[in-house]
Each structure stands twice: as structure tokens, then as C-alpha cells.
Amino acid sequence: MAGKRDCPSCASEIPSDMDRCFICGYEFAGKPSNRPWRLWVALLLLIVFLFPLIRMLLKAIR
């Protein structure tokens, strides 16, 4: 079982493995966001879908 820690916002005691206080919603820092991989996936999808359009435009220019 995980230890407990005090919430700095409402002083409730919550399990130390929780990232957010279930009483007031305070978010504890320390866990990195998962956004970087989402950004790379979005960029990859954008490139994949725009590549045929770019090729078509280049052919029209020639």
C-alpha cells in the first residue's frame, strides 16, 4: 500500500500515488505530460495527408 501525503490546498490526507486531490482537485507536480508523443503523431499524420496534395500541386506547376 502506498503512503499518504497532505494536500497543500485543502490539507486533506490522500494516497501518495494519486496525481490529483479528490477533495479540491489540486494537481500535484512531478509527472511529465504525455503531450510530446501526441504532437509527433499529429505532425506525422499531417505530413502523410498533405504529401499527396503537395505532389499534385508540384505536378500542376510543371
Cα–Cα distance between 23 and 5 in angstroms, integer?
13
pLDDT of residue 36: 81
- Give me the tens of pLDDT residue by residue for the chain, a chain 62 residues long: 468 999 999 999 999 888 889 899 898 887 556 668 888 899 999 999 999 888 999 999 88
pLDDT of residue 31: 59
3-class SS of residue 35: helix
pTM, two decimal places:
0.43
Name the nearest CA neighbour of 15 among 29, 26, 27, 4: 4
pLDDT of residue 10: 94
Neighbours of 26 (CB within 10 A): 15
pLDDT of residue 45: 93
pLDDT of residue 19: 86
